[in-house]
Structure 1
Amino acid sequence: MTVLPRSRPANALIIDVCPTTVLAFLTVMCLLLVQWIGAIAAAGFLASGCLLVVRRPQLVLVELRRYWMVFAVAGWCLLSVLWSQYPGVSLRYGIQLAVTFAIAVAIANRLSPATVLRVLFSAHLLAALLSLVFGRVREDGLGWLGIFGSKNAFSLPMSTLMLCAFAIMLDRGQPRSWRVAGLAGFALGSFMLIQAQSAGQMLATGAALAFALPFFMGRWLTLMQRFLLAGVTLALGIIAGMLVIALQDQIMTLILETTGKDATLTGRTEIWKIAFQEIARHPLTGIGFQAYWVPGNPGAEAIWEEFGISNKRGFHFHNTFISNAVEIGLIGVAIQAAAIFGAMGLVVAWAFREPRAETVFLTALMMRSIVLSMSEVVGYTQFDLATVLLVAALVFGIRSLRERRKPAVWRPAPATAPAASPAEPA
């Protein structure tokens, strides 16, 4: 007797759950909740991220070999233990950075860019809703903090939500439900970013959106028209840059009056002088990864005291490349710059060939990161979502390049039956 499988009803709802996608969502969500929940969220990031990595252990060595140039960034930071002025600190944070890189590479290598975009959008939308319901305002009343610990920490994910939503809502290839959700997410993210009152983040987000928009416009153009559009966009960018340089005094005055900052951009020019002095002492190797802003270091203690930072954390040199040059030297900065600008070039070329939601999002993300790198530290730090996104963008760019270079697989044409000959006369 044979037992036949029970057939499902024709109208049965079937939901396919991808464990890797679920773990990726939990990983991103935990990073967004770290400042609200604390150590529990950090433990959740490690648990979900490491589980995602070891879920398919056969891919770990493949990813190390395939993306060795990506891991070189974390490798140099870890190597700085050998000359660090605080080797224990550099070792601890170097290992954490390597783990962060491994998780980011696994997410970007094992999921499609479209899936990662939806994961990011969903997690950031949830964080925005939580901030709307449970968030708080700064003690001085100047801006919202949401569920985050500072204005910058709040404005960055709201900006990311806008970039995700922008890419989804303008892509006609997306399902209608996702495009409607994208529109709602863009409106919510814009409102929250304005409430954060972060002038730098708003400028960087606006630049990223303006940079990404022509790629969507190019979807309906021929290849030659796309080249023309790219040339016009580049020319406009050069002209805008020349105008900014020519009118920098007036623009700086306007920014200072709008944001209420002092003439040295909250003392950044002063601490940059200190940073350049530190770089001159150890130009090639730096003083060690994460080995400057350490309690007991005389230079850091003096800056904390001058700026009234009593908790002795959450402070940096307000420039990605200057700050990293202090810690990992010009060699380390060169490696990181190659990773950042290499990712930018790869994703821009990819979006130029295939202007879709995920590729346009990556171009906007990299443009925002580069703009912010001039006034903030956007990478690479341990247990940091911005670092995860930068690493993922580079991995996606490398994947697109390799897939493009793959030789076409030749397949023989299917055999066809010979045409029937006309019937012979009787």
Structure 2
Amino acid sequence: MLNVNSSAGKSQFSSREVFGGGILACMPVFVYFYILLVLPFMAGGGKARPENILFWPVMAAVIFALVLQNWSRINTAFLRSLPIASLIAYLVFASASVTWAYSPNYAFSRAVVTILAAFIIVMPYALPINTKHTIARLHICCAAALAISAVYVLTTPSTPIGHPGYFTHKQELGLLAATGLILASHELLFGSWWRRIIASVSISLSFWLVFASQSKSALAFALAALVTSAVVLVICKKIRITPAHIVGAVVIASLFVHNPIERIGYRIYGDSTLTGRTGIWEFTNYQISRRPWLGWGFHSYYFVPNSPQNEAKGYIKDMPSSHSGYLQLKLETGRLGYWIFLVFIYASLYFVELVRRRDPVRAWFILSIEIFAILINLTDTVWLTLTDLWILYLIVVADSVNYSLSPQLMRGVRQISRSRIVGKVVRTARRPRLSNA
């Protein structure tokens, strides 16, 4: 579980009680490190490198062996929880889409890697491991990536649309800077003195790099996520609802506004096309209409032989994604897959409220990452991609479920509920009764 403050950061269990607990606790951070600081330096993004091909099955085998060794310690409630169950359901559906995919071979190989990555990250949280230093380790990885990116920005030429750092596209550097801002904000406010020093440097680098990459939306969404998550949690405490209710209400309200994203883009940036994204979305919606219910198959549309994207004209033909995580879900797995994944998103938001009742600071950090991911997928594609933000999102979701289902927290929630009931009974008993005249 993520370390948010000195008391709440302590695990409910000791890693020493679990065989290989230290390895299990470090594995999600190691995957984050690999995606952020190893994979980008491999030729071709590591896609055809034997090291990358072997990495995922080897790591999954290690996790599987440790899980078998600790089989009796698995928290089955974690696996049955709605966020984890809906994630599993989507991955099963994505695997089934191989049978109707436009390019079955590509769909199969990409689905396998996505499933292995999710298994490596999520499964350790089904065991009582001590991950009290996870948040600090994630921040150190991110700070190292920011420092390396700064060197690249200073020593290599930029592109006309922004500097990519050591990544292949400037948007990846923008995402790194934005997530670094969220991680560093937590460390600056609640970390130890040396973590605050690193966080101060990270925040400075984050602001500089996000402008160097010209990723204005990433910065806007990160700042909005930090503020919105705090406001949402205060509202949840006052009127006893969950972040899922608030986000759902905003989504429903936006249905009554014509082109809400374009309107916001025009008011903030003076560009209702959002740098040409509306044209991409129009063509993507056309392709979705051709296979509305089941889609083109999981990751079986872009970067496949004779891709249907080649039917597009102009700059749209060269796009590597739909520039919308939600449209890409519909494009690849249709309406059915899209609805399953929405259950995963809203269920994850619901569990943040359970965390807030015990540890508001932890809940603020988790909700900031979740809201940032929800917002950034309005204009870019992050869901179910091997990017640092998707890995970080899986980590915070798994941690929130793990923490919410811990025995100590559940006893605390039951005690709070019991005290509220007793309080209502006492107030009712004290209320004066009207005498019958």
Smaller-chain TM-score range?
0.7 to 0.9
Partner of 2:149: 131
Matched, 1:53 2:63: yes
Measured after TM superposition, the shift of residue 353 of structure 1 is 3.8
Does residue 117 (structure 1) correspond to residue 127 (structure 2)? The answer is no
Q: CA deviation at 1:378?
A: 1.8
Query: Taking structure 1 as reference, are residues 364 and 45 closer, same or farther at Cα in structure 2, changes over 3 Å only?
Result: farther
1:179 match: secondary structure? helix
Spell out, residue by residue over 1:24-70, the C-alpha distance to the aligned partner (whole angstroms, 9 max, x if none): 44321110132223426735853774365145132579478554433
CA distance in 2, matches of 1:403, 1:88: 41
For residues 45 and 213 of structure 1, do their structure 2 counterparts lie closer, same or farther at Cα, with a shift above 3 Å needed? Answer: farther
- Determine the structure 2 residue equivalent to 1:164: 183
| 1:253 aligned onto 2:266 | yes
The change in CA–CA distance for 1:183 and 1:52 in structure 2 (over 3 A counts) is farther
TM-score w.r.t. length of structure 1? 0.74
Match of 2:87 among 70, 73, 79: 70
In 1: Cα distance, 2:288 partner to 2:228 partner? 33
Please state if 1:144 is matched with 2:163. yes
* Partner Cα separation in structure 2 for residue 386 and residue 227 of structure 1: 31
Q: Pairwise mapping of residues 22-421 of structure 1 onto structure 2 (< 5 A)? A: 22-33=26-37, 34-37=39-42, 38-39=45-46, 42=52, 45-46=55-56, 49-50=59-60, 52-54=62-64, 56-58=66-68, 62=74, 65-66=79-80, 67-109=84-126, 111-112=129-130, 114-135=132-153, 139-171=158-190, 174-214=191-231, 226-227=237-238, 251-257=264-270, 263-297=272-306, 299-303=308-312, 306-307=314-315, 315-351=320-356, 353-356=358-361, 358-381=362-385, 383-403=386-406, 406=410
Cα 1:228–1:339, aligned 2, differ >3 Å: closer, same or farther?
Answer: closer
Corresponding letter in the other structure for 2:404: L
How big is the shift at 1:337?
Answer: 1.1
C-alpha contact (below 8 Å) 2:273/2:279 kept by paired residues:
yes
Residue 143 of structure 1 deviates from its aligned partner by 3.0
The runs of 4+ residues in structure 1 deviating greater than 6 Å are 228-231, 244-250
Say how many residue pairs are matched. 369
CA displacement 1:303-325 (0-9 Å, x = unmatched): 3x62176xx6x611121121111
Deviation string, structure 1 residues 161-194 (Cα, Å, up to 9, x no partner): 11111112212xx433223332332222222222
CA contact 2:102–2:297 (8 Å) conserved in 1? yes
Distance 1:214 1:271 in 2: 33
- Mapped to 2, the partners of 1:402 and 1:208 lie a distance apart of 25
CA contact (8 A) 1:54 1:60 kept: no
Q: Output the CA distance in 2 between the equivalents of 1:27 and 1:385.
A: 9
Unaligned runs of 5+ in 2: 1-15, 413-437
Q: What is the CA deviation profile of residues 278-317 of structure 1, one whole-angstrom value per residue up to 9, with x for unaligned ones?
A: 22232221121112124443631133x62176xx6x6111
Aligned ranges 1:7-18 → 2 under 5 Å? 18=22
- Give the gaps of 5 or more residues in structure 1: 1-15, 219-223, 409-426
Contact 1:159 1:189 in 2 (8 A): yes
Letter paired with 2:148: L
Question: What CA distance in whole angstroms lies between the structure 2 residues aligned with 1:332 and 1:57?
Answer: 29
Task: Give the corresponding residue for 1:418.
Answer: none
Find the aligned partners of 1:331 and 1:344 in 2 and give their Cα distance: 21
| Offset, 1:98 | 0.8
Q: CA deviation at 1:252?
A: 3.4
Q: Is the 8 A contact 1:70 1:391 kept in 2?
A: no
SS of the residue corresponding to residue 405 of structure 2 reads: helix
Q: Kindly state the Cα deviation for residue 102 of structure 1 after the two structures are TM-superposed.
A: 0.4
Other structure's SS at 1:56 match: helix
Contact 2:292 2:335 in 1 (8 A): yes
- In the alignment, is the contact (CA less than 8 A) between 2:161 and 2:214 conserved in 1? yes
Asked if 2 retains the 8 angstrom alpha-carbon contact of 1:272 and 1:317, the reply is yes
Change (3 A) 1:321 1:60: farther
> For each residue in 1:251-298, what CA deviation from the matched residue of structure 2 results, as whole angstroms up to 9, or x when unmatched?
5335444xxx6x533332223232222222322211211121244436
The answer to whether the Cα contact below 8 Å between 2:301 and 2:309 also exists between their aligned partners in 1 is yes
- Return the TM-score normalized by structure 2: 0.72
Could you report, residue by residue, the CA deviation over 1:213-233 in whole angstroms, capped at 9, with x for unpaired residues? 4589x6xxxxx99417999xx
- Specify whether residues 281 and 245 from structure 1 end up closer, same or farther in structure 2 by C-alpha distance, changes over 3 A only: closer
Partner in structure 1 of residue 421 of structure 2: none
Write out per-residue CA displacement over residues 337-394 of structure 1, whole angstroms, 9 at most, x where no aligned residue: 11122212212442354122x432211001101111211112113x333332232233
* C-alpha distance in 2 between matches for 1:55 and 1:182: 36
- Letter of the structure 2 residue corresponding to residue 264 of structure 1: T
The separation in 1 between residues aligned to 2:71 and 2:297, in whole angstroms, is: 28
**1:281–1:112 Cα change, 3 Å:** farther
Q: Secondary structure at the match of 1:121?
A: helix
Partner SS state of residue 164, structure 2: strand
Structure 1 CA distance for aligned equivalents of residues 356 and 206 of structure 2? 24
> Contact 2:296–2:331 at 8 Å: present in 1 too?
yes
In structure 2, the CA distance between the partners of 1:164 and 1:70, relative to structure 1 (3 Å rule), is same
Q: Percent identity?
A: 17
Task: Confirm or deny: 8 A CA contact 1:145 1:196 kept in the other structure.
Answer: yes
Letter in 1 for 2:266: T
- The CA RMSD over aligned residues, in Å, is 3.7
